[in-house]
Structure 1
Amino acid sequence: MSKSVRAAAAVLIGALTLGACSSQGARTVPEGWQDERVGALRLAVPPGWERVEDVQGDYWTDAWQLVEGGDVVAQLAVEYDVLSNGPKAGLVIEHLLMTMPQMPGYEVVERSPDPIDVDADLAHARYVYDGADGTQLRGALWAIGEGREQPAAVQLTGAVDDELIDQVGESLTFEPQ
């Protein structure tokens, strides 16, 4: 395959992937969900999820949690402006996918593009892992940006299903300021 054909295929795949996550005019915020903005990133947060006031850890700047019976059962976390003036979104996903296999039962279920293109403006991965009690949990990771400007990472983890993952993904959009 020639270099120009590969480049055209990469552009087409990138356009299809971007359309699957969000696109201008096609962004969906499910009824009853809270529309949030973190920098240039817009996302929808499911009803009943609580904003985390003091986000723990080095990666995440903003987070929301679903709490049941005093236990956190799911979390939606955002890192905005990942490595300022640094990598594109695809490189962020690649890095996180390399560090996450330390989780028990971790397995990538889907990634797009596959393999991850480190120059992508949008990348997405779904995975499964084992919770502390051995229950299989799900996660999804998105990185979205425009070139090397203001990339953001979004991670959804815990007792979530594919429908919720799809709804969060369809709510994501990137609007550089």
Structure 2
Amino acid sequence: MTRIRSLCLFCGSRPGADPAHAETADALGRLLAANGITLVYGGGAVGLMGIAARAVKKAGGSVVGVIPRTLMRDEIAQQGLDELIVVETLHERKALMHLRSDAFLALPGSIGTLDELFEALTWRELSIHGKPIWLLGANGYWSPFMALLRHLDTEGFAPADLFDIVEELPGLPALAERLI
């Protein structure tokens, strides 16, 4: 596997009900900075997105934000990033985030997070990219999602390599092993 130099993060624009999710986002930011890995994310200052980005910057790391002009007000574009790229559409945002990243990580989030995750999974299934896709969430956050994927597999709709293209990680140490 190629060394990971940049990680695309999909996650919530809200902090969520469980404080463990915010703690994970903060620890992720510190981990990326400590390993010289650039964070590529949606450019927002709110929720888990903002927590992760600020943690990277506070620890001396590099952050690239990609935000659609229409979301600059709602997601409140994070200031002080190494690069903030303003695009016109969500499609442009996702394409640029994919292009600028060596791997994908999904932390807890809502429909937008799932949209980004499903697109990364679809592109991987179609061999548009071969980048790793990981899921990380405290207290079993991704368990229902993994159950859905197992259901797709059981019902004969999943590709044979589905569980090779997405991996649920048990915690940050497991991610650290895969990043270095």
Tell me if both proteins adopt one fold, taking TM over 0.5 as the criterion: no
Q: TM-score, normalised by structure 1?
A: 0.29
Q: TM-score, normalised by structure 2?
A: 0.29
More strand by share: 1
Query: Who wins on radius of gyration, i.e. which is larger?
Result: 1
